[in-house]
Amino acid sequence: MTTAAARTLAGTDERQDLRNVAIVAHVDHGKTTLVDAMLTQTREAGAHGALEERVMDSGELEKEKGITILAKNTTVFYSGPAATKHAGMDNVTINVIDTPGHADFGGEVERGLSMVDGVVLLVDASEGPLPQTRFVLRKALNAQLPVILVVNKTDRPDARIDGVVSDTMDLLLGLASDVAEENPELNLDSVLDVPVVFASGREGRASKNQPEDGGMPDSDDLEPLFDTILEHVPAPKYDSGEVLQAHVTNLDASPFLGRLALLRIFNGTLKKNQQVAWARKDGTMKTVKITELLATKGLERVSADSAGPGEIVAVAGISDIMIGETLTDLENPKPLPTITVDDPAISMTIGINTSPMAGRVKGAKVTARQVKDRLDKELVGNVSLKVFPTERPDTWEVQGRGELALAILVEQMRREGFELTVGKPQVVTREIDGKLHEPMENMIVDSPEEFMGAITQLMAARKGTMTTMTNNGTGWIRMEFMVPARGLIGFRTKFLTDTRGAGIASSYAAGYEPWKGLIEYRTSGSLISDRTGTATPFAMINLQERGNFFVDPQEEVYEGMVVGENARHDDMEVNITKEKKLTNMRAAAADSFEGLTPPTKLTLEESLEFANEDECVEVTPHSIRIRKVILNSSERMRDTRKKKSASQ
């Protein structure tokens, strides 16, 4: 890795041997696959052998779900002809930040943009710009970062390249006009002069010439993309007379070094074993020593002696350092502004497992102290999360960007051995001018034409208002809705059912509006076990006409546990443990499973969507169960009557 002694152009304060760029896009538009190809085609790729697919998605959940959850950086060492052409040297180091594509992980995107000098915006050649495209593009324009448009997956049979480029330019023009009103310093002419590259990330090919729809880029490699990056993404600028200023943008951990702070150096030089000033968020200063300095080389971190302006490095030796803080000069400290992210829109309660089956998993983490420590640990690296105490003991309110982000946190804790009680997601409201306001979402839906009526009806029931509708003449329509964020809780499962899995829906935050009134989330009730015991085939066969079950025969149940979905609107208590009476004609063992409809197995996300206002989800390392908050039937009835009388 180059250091502060690296070559710069005479008379300028720029690191011409370095470029910092973030790759941003909507979910599944091919960011991580493109990074794989960039690593494979640069001179460092051979040092790592054959790369596995989507190598940047290192987390277990990321590989399972096929999405990027955490922003990560890698380094590409480029030595092609564009290095001499645009930088005047034999090779250039390109730091690449791979960012998440889901709006729920927007905090990761905002952090990534704070580290770079330019953005590569990926757009699918068929789907075109979607909500996350709008979200990240607005953030990039606010930061006045140059944008390179890459139309990816040009080899898709249903590609519509002209339409996608036109849609993206229209989006860019609209966003630039909005941002210019807020930021008068924005140069609209430079913003709209966006270079376009056409690529197939899977094949590792790119071109500046537009291929035919469904065609392959005319270049055999990604050289046109590297050339465009070096031409349009500026080298890091710095003040050679300024003191050290290094911004902490991410955190990691090493089993040998402890907490690692990932930071970008804006000015000055950072050296191993150097004494620096640590500027904290609370305004205090502390002298610390950099015990280890790590530079990124391909996919690995290697020890370095020093690092200069523009470089992205990791440091060890500061156990309590947080995101947004600054490492600066001891004699003349100059802290940088802290990183700010959008406020959370969704909250849920997370507490210890209070069900009758708590603590049965050997080695499970069940105490309040363990749960609180884990939530505090999550706050260290997740800037978009907030945790508050609640009135109930051993329970905390966790606020995040969206339902998926919170579900991912609970799933990670479950896999780490925690037992939890998780409440139904709620929206985070605020009071504006004395009136209650709630967060709104702009929902974009792509669906076959035949499902238009079902989607419109579903959105109307959730207080959604259609703003635009487009028919491209391909049998698919695109509809945009303005809908309360709470209307999207439990939306996805119903939406996929109504569109038979063919619909695509995504959304982005659209500010706050006055409270829209009551929303009915479910038209079905719950089947609730009225006693503790074991579910029997005899009872389930007799009850299955009432609805569908969530439990298997012979599975243990308890009073107040939701064992199925009632076909009717109201809840129904059932005896799912009832056994067949023994007679001299037939033994109980002769009961048959034939005729019993297989139970529905809900995932964690589906369970959170299904749960009603008076229900919660019991999460253990081996099982996920839905239950009533108040398990006892008599106590539930008293609580219901009390709430009714209080509301009258």
Condensed to tens digits (0 to 9), the pLDDT of residues 300-311 reads 788 889 998 989
Average pLDDT over residues 624-628: 93
DSSP secondary structure code for residue 486 in this structure: G
> Can you give the pTM of this predicted structure?
0.72
Backbone angles phi, psi at 136, to 5 degrees: -70, -30
Question: How much is the pLDDT for 533?
Answer: 93
Cβ atoms within 10 Å, residue 601: 11
CA gap 588, 504 in Å, rounded: 49
**Regarding predicted confidence, which is higher, 372 or 177?**
372
Report pLDDT digits (tens) over 139-151. 778 778 888 999 9
DSSP secondary structure code for residue 488 in this structure: G
Residue 31 annotated as lining a ligand binding site: yes
Residue 167 annotated as lining a ligand binding site: no
**Regarding predicted confidence, which is higher, 207 or 496?**
207
Answer for the pair 23, 99: CB distance below 8 angstroms, yes or no: yes
Question: How much is the pLDDT for 300?
Answer: 75
Average pLDDT over residues 615-640: 90
CA gap 120, 140 in Å, rounded: 10
**What percentage of the chain reaches a pLDDT higher than 70?**
85
CA distances from 645 to 505, 613, 638, 642 (A): 40, 18, 11, 5
**Regarding predicted confidence, which is higher, 494 or 549?**
549
| Amino acid, single-letter form, for residue 280 | R
Residue 28 annotated as lining a ligand binding site: yes
Report pLDDT digits (tens) over 175-232. 787 777 666 666 666 667 789 999 998 888 999 999 888 889 988 889 999 999 999 9
Report pLDDT digits (tens) over 419-473. 999 998 888 888 888 899 998 888 888 888 888 999 999 899 888 999 988 886 7
| Amino acid, single-letter form, for residue 51 | L
- Is residue 428 classed as helix, strand or coil in its secondary structure? coil
CA distances from 437 to 51, 135, 432, 512, 566 (A): 49, 22, 6, 6, 33
Least confident of 41-45, 176-180, 596-600: 41-45
Residue 287 annotated as lining a ligand binding site: no
Answer for the pair 99, 71: CB distance below 8 angstroms, yes or no: yes
Angle at 531 between CA 530 and CA 534, to 5 degrees: 120
Burial of 99 from C-beta contacts in 10 A (0-12 / 13-18 / 19+): buried
Least confident of 130-139, 204-213, 264-273, 549-558: 130-139
CA gap 411, 404 in Å, rounded: 10
Given pLDDT bands bounded at 50, 70 and 90, which one contains residue 477? confident
Residue 349 annotated as lining a ligand binding site: no
Answer for the pair 428, 437: CB distance below 8 angstroms, yes or no: no
- Judged against a pLDDT cut of 60, whether residue 587 lies above it is answered with no
Question: How much is the pLDDT for 591?
Answer: 54
Q: What is the b/e burial string over 293-307, where b = at least 16 CB atoms within 10 angstroms of the residue's CB?
A: bbbbbbbebeebebb
**What percentage of the chain reaches a pLDDT higher than 90?**
21
Question: How much is the pLDDT for 584?
Answer: 57
Dihedral angle, C-alpha 282, 288, 290, 295, nearest 10 ° = 10
**Regarding predicted confidence, which is higher, 318 or 383?**
318
Question: How much is the pLDDT for 11?
Answer: 38
Given pLDDT bands bounded at 50, 70 and 90, which one contains residue 325? confident
**Regarding predicted confidence, which is higher, 383 or 564?**
564
Residue 252 annotated as lining a ligand binding site: no
| Amino acid, single-letter form, for residue 232 | H
Question: Radius of gyration over alpha carbons of the chain, in Å?
Answer: 28
Question: How much is the pLDDT for 207?
Answer: 93
Query: What structural domains and CATH numbers belong to the chain?
Result: 18-232 (3.40.50.300), 245-328 (2.40.30.10), 346-427 (3.30.70.870), 433-514 (3.30.70.240), 525-647 (2.40.50.250)
Residue 583 annotated as lining a ligand binding site: no
Question: How much is the pLDDT for 224?
Answer: 92
Residue ranges of alpha helices (H) inside 24-123 are 31-41, 60-65, 81-82, 106-113
Residue 98 annotated as lining a ligand binding site: no
Residue 152 annotated as lining a ligand binding site: yes
Answer for the pair 616, 422: CB distance below 8 angstroms, yes or no: yes
Backbone angles phi, psi at 233, to 5 degrees: -90, 120
CA gap 423, 622 in Å, rounded: 19
Answer for the pair 246, 265: CB distance below 8 angstroms, yes or no: yes
Average pLDDT over residues 322-341: 84
Residue 569 annotated as lining a ligand binding site: no
